């Protein structure tokens, strides 16, 4: 006897635009210090500053807000060696994004820090771990990294995590109710990255099954 099989709709890998505008930044205790730093520019304690925090903590969003306000260019740390450093600092402000222990070009980073100081440019570095924890072998570079003031972004509290879930759902034009948001918030890791993955998974599964996004669907996907 043949069993009827419900067709599953294919999901296209479409990009979902994420706004990095100031009005779309969700503030809370975990990122208050980072937001305060960005909003007090150019009255910074130092012309070279660092934003440190886990993936999805809001570093890129804050850096984008600052880049818009300051006219800063943005350079990925992985491209530092191939970058034209004088040109990168041409506007007097630069975001060096995602400085990670796996992609440090020590001579290039040392040169950038020196050049930023010499030209009195503003430099904002984003990283997942403290700059003092980066495994560098050039002694003078280690000394300069220790001298960079850092602001740390922490994991979001319950209220902020729920607000992030609602925003991410809205970005995908998903209608979510309080019951669903509360369910998710208690079953995912307390991070912006986990919130993004959870909403994406819900969206994709709802499309595949041609079902509404509900707490029942979430319960199927996120069982404890």
Residues 97 and 196 in one domain: no
Asked if 31 and 62 count as a contact pair (C-beta separation under 8 A), the reply is yes
Residues 40 and 103 in one domain: yes
Full pLDDT tens readout for the chain, 224 residues: 444 433 334 333 445 556 666 667 888 899 999 999 999 999 999 999 999 998 878 899 999 999 999 999 999 999 988 778 999 999 999 999 999 877 789 999 999 999 999 999 999 999 999 999 999 999 999 999 999 999 999 888 899 999 999 989 998 989 899 999 999 999 999 888 899 999 999 999 999 999 999 999 999 998 75
Q: Which of 152, 180, 199 is the last residue of a domain?
A: 152
Residues 114 and 60 in one domain: yes
DSSP annotation of 190: S
Q: Which of 152, 183, 208 is the last residue of a domain?
A: 152
Whether 9 is covered by a domain: the verdict is no
pTM of the model: 0.79
Residues 120 and 145 in one domain: yes
Residues 212 and 105 in one domain: no
Task: Please give the order of strands across the beta sheet that includes 48-52.
Answer: 73-76, 93-99, 122-127, 48-52, 150-152
Residues 184 and 210 in one domain: yes
pLDDT in the model for residue 191: 85
Give residue for tokens 């903590």.
57
Residues 202 and 105 in one domain: no
Residue in 149, 145, 160 with CA at minimum distance from that of residue 61: 160
Query: Distances in Å between the alpha carbon of 182 and those of 42, 89, 186, 214, 222?
Result: 39, 45, 6, 12, 12
CATH of the domain at 84: 3.40.50.300
Residues 91 and 145 in one domain: yes
Query: Distances in Å between the alpha carbon of 44 and those of 17, 119, 123, 151, 163?
Result: 31, 16, 11, 12, 29
Q: Which of 136, 152, 168 is the last residue of a domain?
A: 152
Q: Which helix (H) or strand (E) holds 156?
A: none
Question: What does the alpha-carbon distance between residue 126 and residue 100 come to, in Å, rounded to a whole number?
Answer: 9
Find the domain containing 108 and state its range: 29-152
CATH of the domain at 172: 1.10.8.60
User: Which two structure tokens, joined as six digits, stand for 218?
Assistant: 């979430």
Whether 187 is covered by a domain: the verdict is yes
């Amino acid at each position: 006897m043949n069993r009827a099989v419900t067709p599953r709709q294919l999901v296209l890998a479409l990009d979902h635009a994420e706004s990095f505008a100031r009005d779309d930044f969700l503030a809370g205790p975990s990122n208050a210090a980072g937001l305060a730093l960005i909003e007090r520019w150019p009255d910074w304690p130092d012309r070279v500053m660092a934003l440190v925090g886990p993936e999805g903590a809001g570093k890129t969003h804050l850096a984008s807000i600052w880049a818009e306000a300051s006219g800063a260019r943005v350079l990925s740390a992985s491209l530092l060696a191939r970058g034209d450093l004088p040109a990168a600092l041409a506007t007097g402000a630069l975001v060096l994004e995602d400085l990670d222990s796996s992609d440090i070009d020590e001579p290039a980073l040392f040169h950038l820090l020196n050049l930023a100081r010499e030209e009195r440019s503003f430099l904002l570095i984003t990283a997942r771990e403290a700059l003092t924890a980066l495994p560098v072998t050039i002694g003078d570079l280690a000394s300069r990294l220790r001298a960079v003031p850092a602001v740390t972004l922490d994991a979001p509290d319950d209220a902020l995590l729920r607000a992030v879930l609602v925003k991410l759902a809205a970005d995908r034009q998903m209608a979510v109710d309080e019951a669903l948001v509360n369910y998710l918030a208690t079953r995912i890791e307390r991070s912006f990255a986990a919130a993004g993955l959870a909403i994406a998974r819900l969206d994709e599964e709802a499309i595949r099954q041609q079902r509404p996004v509900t707490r029942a669907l979430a319960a199927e996907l996120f069982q404890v």
